[in-house]
A and B are shown apart, each in its own frame.
Chain A
């Protein structure tokens, strides 16, 4: 599910003219998938408990589901060549509205979710509008938005709650946190207890974005706006409105991730999204989305996030201490990415030799 307006940089022009195709195993998504599976198997062999569906895989997938939506929020901003440094605070902002909805307005879960999404989309739209109208870099605008929301969210929680969190839980949210596919049975056949039902939001978000970027004109216009803004403008694409759309979607997805994080841990609190920014870039970029815009990969974003999640979980299971955890995590990621690069170079040489 990779979409780009220009051929990926890894495919040289001469190769295209010669009519030779890179072998299928050079595909970055496939590489990531193989890495995720290989590492899972390695950790499974080293610690058989890694394959424990209830205690290890279920929380791992719940985490991956939430962080994938965070990374998708960043991916949408990256698609127009922008970034969203306020992704975590937008999550907190959206979640705060859901919390207010449940605590003060006694809304049912679905209505609170809609309020959360609307708030996220609105703050994203304001950010996009500011960027499009003023022409100020998205880095500066989203950084300013991050600070503004940090203050606003803290202030509202302090003013509205005693414990700095909305603790009212609507009916159904506990089920959302703890139910898996094992709770759905067709006759004697039940689903896997490893797959959380919370992941439905991730699937919806991925399908929606996959459709947007893969099958619609607006999606292609978003990518062209990211790849070559001047050319996009000259081609008659309303780049301002595409920027507005990208940031609105980014805000909406960030708010969805905020809701998922709150549902996953229990309450709607100000600290939701504090640690979202780095994973948002990591998942998207590992998955093949370009920081410069124009190329996105929805499936790659899921795989990139899953790779980081699997490595961290495996290291946790191996009992790696705090001092070494991040060193190992960094080293394995570097190795993984180097392996990917080596694979591309080797395959390119093979293609060159064969011509």
Chain B
């Protein structure tokens, strides 16, 4: 094949054209838009008790459809009724695509929603989205997941501390294993900042065992659906089932798959799952799942909606914008499987007090 001069030339031409076009890339000679946000909060009294939320329309927007977010729907509806809000909607049509989520948020703003509780699809990109919404004068809460890095452009982040939750899960597994053995970590999308935090949390717990516990493998990218997770876990059990004495699953589908695999293979491995899906709770009751780390999605939606309404009505401001608040995570075992929800409700009540006293400044 001769050097493809005629083939390469148009390519070079195209690159040159694009580069020339983007030499300046953006132009601005018009004055910048006026800042949408009111300069100072107009205090209307009433402390942290919402005085009038009838004009507040809150949108709760998860990254996509996932069982974890289902409690948001009911918690949002309850909050609407309790605080007399204009509306609370739950929209899960972002399909785990940041661009689609950005589009959805602007559409919701056009539909009249004026406060947003968001689980960002991409933890590294979501700050841009938050900044966009804030610049238009909307209060924004990062719910269920905080942006990656130290900056949070949202008014506040109310989320599970994912690294801490993974650490707690790994600790529970190591305890159940008797402080020694071989552990496997099953988790979600490897190229996700939250997954990296979970991996760190588990690694920290393993390190603290002083070499008694060995992390055999971290299996990532198996939270896409249950089938993928089941295949990966059954392959793992077939290949290394004899060596594994503990399994920590820090994502929903691998947790269910690990429960199934242990049940069907008769393995003695201790399984630590995540969340409180009915399957996992029944696994705990039957003894195939040793423990599960339960998060607090109801508290995130309920407290998030209430705090957003206080910010939207300008009744309160955030003392330290971008503050990160842990919504709580609880280790549930056979011993407390029937009563853990009370602890979770108590945490939600505690969060409300904390917000009123520590994080919000109300007139």
B103 touches A242 (CB 8 A): no
Interface size class of A (residues with CB under 8 A): 35 or more
Describe A's contact surface by its main secondary structure.
helix
B111 touches A317 (CB 8 A): yes
A241 touches B7 (CB 8 A): yes
Give Cα distance in the complex from A277 to B111, angstroms.
30
B7 touches A110 (CB 8 A): no
Binds B, one of A26-34, A48-56, A284-292: A48-56
A154 touches B103 (CB 8 A): no
Give Cα distance in the complex from A270 to B148, angstroms.
15
B10 touches A218 (CB 8 A): yes
A113 touches B18 (CB 8 A): yes
CB proximity to A under 8 Å, residues B8-56? 8, 10-11, 13-15, 17-19, 21-23, 25-30
Count of A-B residue pairs with CB < 8 Å: 200
Interface string of B71-109 (1 = CB under 8 A from A): 000000000000000000101110101111011101101
CB proximity to A under 8 Å, residues B152-210? 189-193, 195-196
CB of A187, distance to nearest CB on chain B (Å): 10
**Residue from the list A117, A176, A216, A241 in contact with B25, Cβ < 8 A:** A176
Chain A residue at minimal CB-CB distance from B199 = A158
Chain A residue at minimal CB-CB distance from B105 = A59
* Interface check B266, CB cutoff 8 A: no
Q: A163-B148, A264-B99, A269-B191 are in contact. Are A317 and B110 (CB under 8 A)?
A: yes
CB proximity to A under 8 Å, residues B103-149? 103-104, 106-107, 109-112, 122-129, 132, 136, 148-149
A56 touches B28 (CB 8 A): no
* Interface check A182, CB cutoff 8 A: yes
CB proximity to B under 8 Å, residues A5-57? 47, 49-50, 52, 55-56
Q: A114-B19, A201-B22 are in contact. Are A177 and B27 (CB under 8 A)?
A: no
Chain A residue at minimal CB-CB distance from B123 = A163
Contact partners of B112 in chain A: CB under 8 A: 49
A165 touches B122 (CB 8 A): yes
CB proximity to A under 8 Å, residues B226-251? none
Give Cα distance in the complex from A109 to B26, angstroms.
11
**Residue from the list B7, B107, B132 in contact with A178, Cβ < 8 A:** B132
Contact partners of A249 in chain B: CB under 8 A: 10-11, 14
* Interface check B278, CB cutoff 8 A: no
A245 touches B110 (CB 8 A): no
Chain B residue at minimal CB-CB distance from A111 = B19
Q: In the complex, which of the residues B30, B109, B127 has the most CB atoms of chain A within 10 Å of its own CB atom? A: B30
* Interface check A233, CB cutoff 8 A: no
A59 touches B18 (CB 8 A): no
B1 touches A241 (CB 8 A): yes
B125 touches A110 (CB 8 A): no
* Interface check B342, CB cutoff 8 A: no
Contact partners of B8 in chain A: CB under 8 A: 245, 248
B125 touches A266 (CB 8 A): yes
Contact partners of B125 in chain A: CB under 8 A: 165, 265-267, 269
B99 touches A66 (CB 8 A): yes
B128 touches A200 (CB 8 A): no
Contact partners of B132 in chain A: CB under 8 A: 178
**Residue from the list A58, A163, A177, A256 in contact with B149, Cβ < 8 A:** A163
Interface string of A298-322 (1 = CB under 8 A from B): 0000000000000001001101111
Give Cα distance in the complex from A195 to B10, angstroms.
29
Give Cα distance in the complex from A212 to B17, angstroms.
13
**Residue from the list A178, A197, A244 in contact with B27, Cβ < 8 A:** A197
**Residue from the list B13, B89, B124 in contact with A267, Cβ < 8 A:** B124
A316 touches B103 (CB 8 A): yes
**Residue from the list A114, A175, A241, A265 in contact with B15, Cβ < 8 A:** A114
Give Cα distance in the complex from A185 to B26, angstroms.
13
Contact partners of A58 in chain B: CB under 8 A: 106
B27 touches A117 (CB 8 A): no
CB proximity to B under 8 Å, residues A142-195? 154, 157-158, 162-165, 167, 172, 174-179, 182-185, 190
* Interface check B4, CB cutoff 8 A: yes
A164 touches B99 (CB 8 A): no
Contact partners of A172 in chain B: CB under 8 A: 25-26
Give 6 closest A-B pairs by Cβ, nearest first.
A266-B128, A165-B124, A270-B191, A245-B7, A164-B191, A163-B193
6 additional contacts, CB 8 Å, given A208-B18, A265-B99? Answer: A154-B191, A164-B124, A164-B196, A179-B28, A200-B25, A244-B4
16 intermolecular pairs with C-beta atoms under 8 Å apart: A59-B103, A59-B106, A121-B11, A154-B191, A163-B124, A182-B30, A183-B30, A200-B21, A204-B21, A244-B4, A248-B7, A269-B191, A271-B191, A319-B89, A319-B111, A322-B65
